[in-house]
Amino acid sequence: MGELRTRGSSPRVAASAAACALTLAGALVLAGCSSPPDPKQTRDSIAKVKESPAPADALEPYDAGLHPEPLVEPVDCLPYLVITSRGTGEPTRAQLLSPVAKAISEARPDQVETLDLDYPADTDVNLGATRGVRILIDTLNVQAAACPGQRFILLGYSQGALVVGDALTQAADRLVGTAAGSLTPEAADRILAIVLYGDPRFSGAEPYDVGDFDPGLHGVLPRPTGSLEEFADRLRDYCVNGDIVCQSSMNLDEEGHVAYYSNGMQQDGAAFVIGRMPIEHPRRGS
């Protein structure tokens, strides 16, 4: 993956898609490629978002009203920009989303720039995810202005799915990043595909939901129905029965939240994205 250039901080090396091999034809062996997070720790930290809000002074650097200048610099104008938003406790390398990003990149050789979102992905969800929302919004807006031909692909797992979803919704419907600004219409229009796994804000009644989930159970902190309607035809929100993060019940098996590493949904998500990518495309955005 490439490097996310963030103003005022050291650049972070993005997650390497080379960590795992992923092909869409034939059987895939992904076990051992990634380090699954602790599902209960993830659930508990996300559940505290409303209970323990971050202090205002800690959130101030991500307030777009107070600091409107983008926090990121533009990256290369390849035709496609894939942004991965990892789950709580996952490393920047060898994460759940790495094989998905790799499959997308291999499907369009030399046409894909991949970045791992520069946010902590730790148990301080209020503060860390707020940074994630601001950085994601800034990145998409900056790239839309700098690279008129570039299309965006957003991948999120667990806390990372919360970040992606909240960045795409109106501020009033967010849990985090309520003052982090909003996407320009041009940036929103350039989003080609969105794939989420184990989403804490999962709502079982949405048309873009995928999996064997119980539609009567929602995520730990579900988003309002219809809040991502603008992106419905571009979105897949994967949730499995037994995932204690996207199926909010303490009686469920914790292992459900890490089932995506081995249940074929990585491949399915990659195939959804690739199916939306034009076969013929100029080498660089114009």
The CATH number linked to 246 is 3.40.50.1820
Query: pLDDT: is 5 or 163 the higher one?
Result: 163
Q: Is residue 25 over pLDDT 70?
A: no
Q: Is residue 27 over pLDDT 80?
A: no
Listed range (30-39, 244-253, 276-285) with the worst mean pLDDT: 30-39
Percent of the chain with pLDDT over 90: 70
Domain that holds residue 119: 3-20+36-275
Could you tell me if residue 286 is inside a domain? no
pLDDT band of 162, cuts 50, 70, 90: very high
Could you tell me if residue 282 is inside a domain? no
Separation of alpha carbons 135 and 131, rounded Å:
6
Could you tell me if residue 26 is inside a domain? no
Mean pLDDT value across residues 219-237: 96
Comparing CA positions, the residue from 105, 154, 101, 99 lying closest to residue 132 is: 154
pLDDT confidence of residue 92: 83
Query: pLDDT: is 56 or 232 the higher one?
Result: 232
Could you tell me if residue 56 is inside a domain? yes
Could you tell me if residue 256 is inside a domain? yes
Could you tell me if residue 271 is inside a domain? yes
pLDDT band of 34, cuts 50, 70, 90: low
Listed range (2-6, 96-100, 104-108, 219-223) with the worst mean pLDDT: 2-6
Number of domains in the chain: 1
Q: How far out from the chain centre does Cα 198 lie?
A: 11
Could you tell me if residue 49 is inside a domain? yes
Q: Provide the mean pLDDT of the chain.
A: 85
Contact 143, 75 (CB under 8 A): yes
Can you name the residues that pair with 194 across neighbouring β-strands?
Answer: 154, 235
Could you tell me if residue 27 is inside a domain? no
Q: Is residue 33 over pLDDT 80?
A: no
